[in-house]
Amino acid sequence: MSAVEQVFLECERARADGDLVKRVSARDKEFHFQNWVQARLEACTLAYDEPGRNTYPDFRLVHHPEGYEVKGLEFPGRDATYDSNSQVPAGNHNGREVYYVFGRYPKSEKGVDEYPVVDLVVCHGSFLNADSEYVHKNKSFRGFGAYGDIQVRDRKMYVVPTPYALAAGTAGLSTLIVPADFQPESSQLVRVGELDRIEADEVLVSYEFNLQTNEMLTRKKPNPNAGKTHRFCAYRSRGAGDSKAVGLAEGRRS
């Protein structure tokens, strides 16, 4: 079966069997869930390039044109959006299909270093953003300040909706969201919903920040793909919540 099917089914098995997220230290706020996902890739015997702090996606498979970006979220807590400091989500990057692995786990408690995975969503990056052409770059210029020798860095942060905000019916379960033309090879996967995302009428093309008034001005242009529908299907492991439907969250036009 495809690599993403293997990864999803192994993640669901590990979650159901109670394989715990292990916090390495009290300062570890990022990599504990990534380590959990790494163990799943190893259980599937999928070779990958070693992840680094600035690599995207986190795990790049060697023998499959796929990559996995991992996002762990404390629950209850902020789980409707996440901060992306270096990369806008996309479904394709450098020739690889990109999948995002979102997992929610309980908030950390003093003296507790192991946590269950409450639920998880593995979704194709195009479900979060249909544009794979934009290239993120941090720019800077010098000349700010009274002496004209202070550098200003334009270091963008993107705040992106998570699948928990975009899709209803994911709480407490494991869900795989892929483009509608994806054909599962595993009989263990059961379709549980369809989700349509519709491109906006306009797209943002630039912004300007006024250093005197602290105001930001944005400029948009008509989206050449305005109204285009991107269709996705949701799957679950057979017998693991496959009777609970998944759909676009209420109030989400796209």
pLDDT band at 242 (very low <50, low <70, confident <90, very high): confident
pLDDT band at 24 (very low <50, low <70, confident <90, very high): confident
Q: How many CB atoms lie within 10 A of CB 157?
A: 8
Which residue ranges make up each domain of the chain?
Answer: 3-198+230-248
Q: Which of 72, 69, 71 is nearest to 97 (CA)?
A: 69
Quick one: what percent of the chain has pLDDT higher than 70?
A: 96
* Bond into 76 cis (ω within 30): yes
Residue 178 CA to chain centroid, in angstroms? Answer: 13
CA distance 224 to 205: 13
Q: What's the distance, Cα to Cα, between the start and end of the chain in Å?
A: 30
Q: Which of 204, 221, 57 is nearest to 125 (CA)?
A: 57
- CA-to-CA separations, 96 to 72, 90, 179, 193, in angstroms, rounded: 22, 10, 15, 25
SS3 88: coil
SS3 148: coil
Burial (CB count within 10 angstroms: exposed 0-12, middle 13-18, buried 19+), residue 40:
buried
CA distance 102 to 79: 10
pTM of the predicted protein model:
0.92
CA distance 84 to 161: 11
Question: For residue range 67-91, what is the model confidence (pLDDT) as tens digits?
Answer: 999 999 999 999 999 999 878 999 9
Which residue type occupies 135? V
Q: At 169, phi and psi to the nearest 5?
A: 95, 15
CA distance 49 to 40: 15
pLDDT band at 209 (very low <50, low <70, confident <90, very high): very high
Q: Which helix (H) or strand (E) holds 164?
A: helix 163-166
pLDDT band at 120 (very low <50, low <70, confident <90, very high): very high
CA distance 53 to 86: 11
Sign of CA dihedral 218, 224, 226, 228: negative
Sequence-ordered alpha helix ranges (H) in 121-162 = 125-128
